[in-house]
Amino acid sequence: STGSLNDIGIGGATSKPSKFFSIKTKSDRDVSGAESKTGKVRSISVKFRSANLLFSVALFKAGRESPRYQFYENSALDFINQCLMKFPGCSFHLHINDLVPKETLLRLERLLGDESYKVKIHRYNFKHSKAGTCWLVNAMRYRAMWEHDGPETVCVCDIHDDIDLLAQQICMMLSCMDRLGRDIGMTHWESDDDECLSSVALPLRGHFHVDGGICLWKKGDGTARKMAREKGSFKNYCASIVHESTVIPRGIDEMLVDAFLAASDVRERYAMFL
């Protein structure tokens, strides 16, 4: 049933546009290879044509018994705080499942009540108990890349513990996207198989698929997002694909987003791959 993924929105806020952000990293050379004036620290400024970053990340509990869940919850909330310090004015879409405890919801409600946090929470209620349904939450974080209508550049990423490294990678990707005139930037991984049996691999020589480590999608003129939305609801698409499956495998998020976007030529026309 396509109704097996219910998105229960829990408030949220929009952010004001910012013109740029800057980061400092320990490096002797900048992205182009030129030495910095100090020889030790460099500053990278990436100008946005429209607005700042919207991070779309996931937090879920894999089962009733999940001994490491508290660690992941603390990491997610710390990640939000670190991003706010590194990227002032950024906002968040946090995707969670219905197994997260009430204590988590109380902590998140405090964020919603604080004006300094621009967080929208998507809570998914799964109407079946198939093994691996938690991985669908990871897939849902991709929705914001093309479903979001605001001016923000959407960043889908894993919860990183090194915010400086994440900031450096985002800056380099955005610089490359601007230089190549691309609205979409995707990291990817190489499959051991020679060919993709589903014919949804990235449009590259070889067998590659999108990686959820970092994916960026700028608004641009809006055409790329419109093309993706024309394929219909990603949530319903995912639910229909996994309906007949007995087990939902880890990595289903990357498989689903590749299959969904492969139905159009949005990747060929607007994406850059790193």
Segment 93-107, tens digit of pLDDT: 999 988 888 899 888
CA distance 151 to 161: 27
Provide the token pair at 21: 């952000």
pLDDT digits (tens, 9 = 90+) for 77-90: 999 999 988 888 89
Q: Could you tell me which residues come within 8 angstroms of residue 220 by beta carbon, excluding any fewer than 6 positions away?
A: 183, 270
Would you write out the chain's pLDDT as a tens digit for each of its 274 residues? 333 456 555 444 333 332 222 222 233 222 222 233 333 323 444 443 334 899 999 999 887 778 889 999 999 999 999 998 888 889 999 999 888 888 998 888 887 778 778 899 999 887 666 778 888 899 999 999 999 988 999 999 998 888 999 988 998 999 999 999 999 999 887 888 888 877 888 888 888 888 878 999 999 999 999 999 999 999 988 888 777 777 788 888 888 898 899 888 899 999 988 8
Largest interatomic CA distance in the chain:
60
3-state secondary structure of 67: coil
Buried (b) or exposed (e) across 90-129, using 16+ Cβ within 10 A?
Answer: bbbbbbbbebbeeebeeebeebbeeeebbbbbbbbebeee
pTM above 0.85, yes or no: no
Q: According to the model, what pLDDT value does residue 23 have? A: 27
Question: What's the token pair of residue 233?
Answer: 């609801």
The number of residues making up the chain comes to: 274
Q: Residue 133: left if φ>0, alpha if ψ -120 to 50, beta else—which one?
A: alpha
